[in-house]
Amino acid sequence: MCRNSTEIKLLPKTQYDFTYLSNGATQTIVLQPSISVAAYYRTHLLVRVHSLQMDAGQSVEFQLDNTLPSDEDPAEFIDRGVSGNPLTTVTITSSTSTPVLLSGTATDLQAGLRVRFIATQGSVPSTPFFVELSAVLVLCDF
């Protein structure tokens, strides 16, 4: 349990259409380039999947990464640690039943968090690819 927590609304209920993506293409949407999390230890990424229309091979993946932006350099500074993986991911595929709440948890946060999601088109790009999502981030101290 955390003594103190903060809830950050990342994404209001929004419908996305990724049908236009070509075979195997991806689109990345950065929801937050850097959220200050220095006072927190744990985070819970909560994604509501309100509805979807997807086929096999199509997916949407939310990712959290440690980040530390610099006023002196506009580059994106991301730390994925030894594994090279995001802190946590939440993946939505054609087998995801709706409505559903999906979650991912990460601990030992650094100074900032980047939140993004990546839509990946399958091998049949003419197939409809719609998702309706909303998301929040819950930050907890020690």
CATH number 2.60.120.660 is the correct assignment for the domain at 5-140: yes
Q: Secondary structure of the chain in the HEC alphabet?
A: CCCCEEEEEEEEEEEEECCCCCCCCEEEEEEEEEEECCCCCEEEEEEEEEEEECCCCCEEEEEEEEECCECCECCCCEECCCCCCCCEEEEEECCCCCCEEEEEEEECCCCEEEEEEEEECCCCCCCCCEEEEEEEEEEECC
pLDDT tens digits for 40-92?
A: 999 999 999 999 999 999 999 999 999 988 888 887 877 877 677 899 999 99
pLDDT for 95 beyond 90: yes
Domain ranges in the chain? 5-140
Put simply, whether the predicted model's pTM sits higher than 0.85 gets the answer yes
Determine the average pLDDT of the residues in 31-48: 95
Strand partners, 66: 79, 113
